[in-house]
């Protein structure tokens, strides 16, 4: 998370239309929970646009890339590859090992999130196939829990740069201020900020 090494989330496979929202949510979750970059398939331009727009407004650094060579990215990745899959080893059993592998040699980490069926070669290439439970649920949920555990919660403390606006956490309210401001209440104007 903005250290020397880079944590990149790769969305593997995307069906335009059907997957737009899931792919967008993968990208926004990667950004919000500490990844440095997300890579979408090149047919996911609409999702890329949404994630870039949120980054422009709410800050970064966070990069969004469209690439057509998902297989090559995985095959040629120089660092550690984690593939999130319900068939993998239990996250609670391997998270320390993943963290050690990344930290020991300051290795970049590629986190692969499946969309359409992923090729068997990905299971073989991955240094870790990891299951956030071995139950069918949601690639977005799996990514979120994995990142929160990988960073041990530190990602929740990150600061954002180049933001236009900032939400002020509060017990009851919807307060958005200009980034940098500590006052000002645009309560009620913020309902359009959801990722929806």
Q: Which of 6, 48, 43 is nearest to 27 (CA)?
A: 48
Choice between 101 and 190, CB closer to a second copy: 190
Whether 117 has a binding-site annotation, put simply, is: yes
Binding mask 120-159 for a second copy (x = CB under 8 A): ---xx-x-xx-xxxxxxxx-xxxxxx--xx---x--xx--
Residue from 35, 88, 102, 111 in contact with a second copy (CB under 8 A)? 88
Choice between 45 and 60, CB closer to a second copy: 60
d(CA 164, CA 140): 26
Segment near a second copy (CB under 8 A), from 2-10, 71-79, 85-93, 100-108?
A: 85-93
Instruction: Give contact residues for a second copy (rule: CB under 8 A).
Output: 21-22, 25, 28-29, 31-33, 54, 58, 85-93, 114, 117, 123-124, 126, 128-129, 131-138, 140-145, 148-149, 153, 156-157, 160, 166-175, 190-191, 193-195
């Amino acid at each position: 998370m903005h250290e020397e090494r880079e944590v990149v989330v790769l969305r593997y496979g995307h069906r335009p239309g059907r997957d737009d929202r899931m792919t967008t949510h993968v990208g926004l979750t990667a950004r919000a929970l500490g990844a440095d970059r997300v890579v979408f398939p090149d047919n996911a331009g609409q999702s890329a646009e949404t994630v870039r727009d949120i980054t422009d407004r709410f800050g970064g650094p966070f990069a969004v890339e469209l690439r057509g060579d998902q297989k090559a990215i995985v095959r040629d990745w120089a660092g550690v590859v984690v593939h999130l899959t319900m068939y993998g080893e239990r996250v609670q059993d391997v998270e320390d090992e993943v963290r050690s592998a990344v930290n020991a040699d300051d290795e970049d980490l590629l986190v692969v999130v499946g969309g359409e069926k992923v090729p068997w070669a990905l299971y073989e290439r991955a240094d870790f196939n990891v299951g956030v439970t071995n139950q069918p649920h949601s690639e977005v949920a799996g990514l979120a829990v994995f990142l929160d555990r990988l960073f041990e919660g530190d990602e929740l403390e990150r600061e954002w740069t180049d933001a236009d606006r900032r939400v002020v956490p509060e017990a009851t309210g919807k307060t958005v201020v200009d980034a940098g401001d500590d006052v000002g209440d645009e309560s009620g104007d913020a309902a359009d900020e959801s990722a929806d």
